[in-house]
Amino acid sequence: MTDPIQHLKEAGHLDRFFIDGSWRAPKGREKAPVVDPATEAVVAQVPLGNAADVDDAVLAARRAFPAWSETPAPERAACLGRIHKLILERLDLIAHALMTEMGAPITYARQTQVPLAAEHIRVARDNLADFPFVSKRGTTAIMKEPIGVCALITPWNWPLYQITAKVGPALAAGCTVVLKPSELSPLSALLFAEIVEEAGCPPGVFNLVNGSGPVVGEALAAHDDVDMVSITGSTRAGVLVAQAAAPTVKRVAQELGGKSPNIVLPDADLDRCVPLGVAAAMRNLGQSCSAPTRMLVPRARLAEVEALARMAVAEFVVGAPTDEATTHGAIANRAQYERVQIMIETGIAEGARLVAGGPGRPEGLAAGLFARPTVFSDVRRDMAIAREEIFGPVLAILPYDTVEEAIAIANDTVYGLGAHVHGTDMDEVRRVASQIRAGQVHLNAPAWDPQAPFGGYKRSGNGREYGPEGMEEYLETKAILGYYSEA
């Protein structure tokens, strides 16, 4: 079966939460619609949790923590291995869930969204095998111990990918978790809970409560028995979570907004780097916090860049996510679609030059949340489209006169999540990369590296995900002096 809604209905899980190893009815009666963005049809209703549901889930996680934290690492790794295997076995079912709940093209969901999500679990499993939980420093033992019960709050734009990026290292570290996925994309999260159940993780180690940020998210952040919150979302949401968590002085890890630059150096191969830069900016329809949506190019080569960008956009196929030829599907929800349209209109009003795309739907699409991949040029650094996170398929091309000016423009943002640099002289490429205030910098479009730590400077958040650093976020450091005899 590839219909996720029918599958969840038949399993009896669509209207349930996963708490303490079983599927439970919610305490409240409020529900939220699941909307297919390609048709704007309501395809399901899911329950929204409340504070009582949060209490149940946190209590289950608290009870499970002592045993799970002391479970030998090989046993925790084996559980993660089973989760990894089951994700890949159910790839097509999960891909259809992503297509339904957020408009991802079925080919993109199959080839990118689900496989990369599975990689986070594999990496967590593999890193656990040789992670230094105890190290020696003179006669002192430095111990890394699981922090406790972790609340994981994930967004709608990469639903499963962001879940596994948190759950994998948290479970590997020996923590127990309560997951609150986005209420806008709950289907893939429910399928993941089924996988955890089938993988045989002990009851209470993983719990899922659907709900809104103001209710479930805030209850988790403020809860006395939650030791840590990890949130991926908007900067606004991250601030609210940090404020709710502050009275209990718990750790808060935040992966938030971005306005990432892509510096094209004067010696760069434009035929290669411009199409790659356009594709990166509009990957997942630009609904990625690290999308390089500001392309900084030498003023003398602006016309060449514009022509190449226009040709790159012309290769995109915007259409029904069910069509395997579609490269870009629908914007994930109505609020985000309207935000994208407003920002495109703003760019035009500000005087930026439209190179490709524009407002409205692509030709031939009369319904659904479909946006035109849009490129602006002659963008000034003070324009809204150069400063605000749009979270859609909108690229701003900003000309520069010197490389030092390009670096200054790249850093002229409240964000600092990601960046890209393209050039032929690698010494210069590395020098420029070292000057950018961002948590992750890509040089000449390298392959994705699941071991590369990911996180932001400034208002893009704090803490890191992926790789060993991602596991360390879920660990406390204990120093035991005199642990080793001087003799």
pLDDT number for residue 487: 58
Cα–Cα–Cα angle for 132, 137, 139, rounded to 5 degrees: 125
DSSP letter assigned to residue 111: I
DSSP letter assigned to residue 427: H
* E strand intervals along 183-266: 206-208, 228-232, 251-255, 261-264
pLDDT number for residue 485: 86
145 sits in which H/E element: strand 140-146
pLDDT number for residue 1: 75
Give 345's contacts (C-beta < 8 A, 6+ positions apart): 359
**C-alpha count within 13 angstroms, C-beta hemisphere, residue 223:** 30
Supply 34's token pair.
Answer: 């699941």
Q: What is d(CA 156, CA 154) in angstroms, rounded to the nearest whole number? A: 7
* CA gyration radius, the chain: 23
Q: What is d(CA 189, CA 94) in angstroms, rounded to the nearest whole number? A: 9
The residue ranges of every structural domain in the chain are 4-256+461-479, 261-449
Bridge-based pairing of strands 374-377 and 394-400 is: parallel
Q: Which CATH number fits domain 261-449: 2.60.40.1250, 3.20.20.370, 3.40.309.10, 3.40.50.970?
A: 3.40.309.10
**C-alpha count within 13 angstroms, C-beta hemisphere, residue 382:** 2
CATH number of 4-256+461-479: 3.40.605.10
Q: What is d(CA 143, CA 369) in angstroms, rounded to the nearest whole number? A: 50
Catalytic residue set: 255, 289
For residue 230, which of 150, 118, 341 has the smallest C-alpha distance?
150
- Contact 172/473 with Cβ under 8 angstroms? no
- Mean pLDDT, 10 residues at a time, the chain of 487 residues: 94 98 96 98 98 98 98 98 98 98 98 98 97 96 98 97 98 98 98 98 98 97 98 96 98 97 98 98 97 98 98 98 98 98 98 98 96 98 98 98 98 98 98 98 97 98 96 98 86
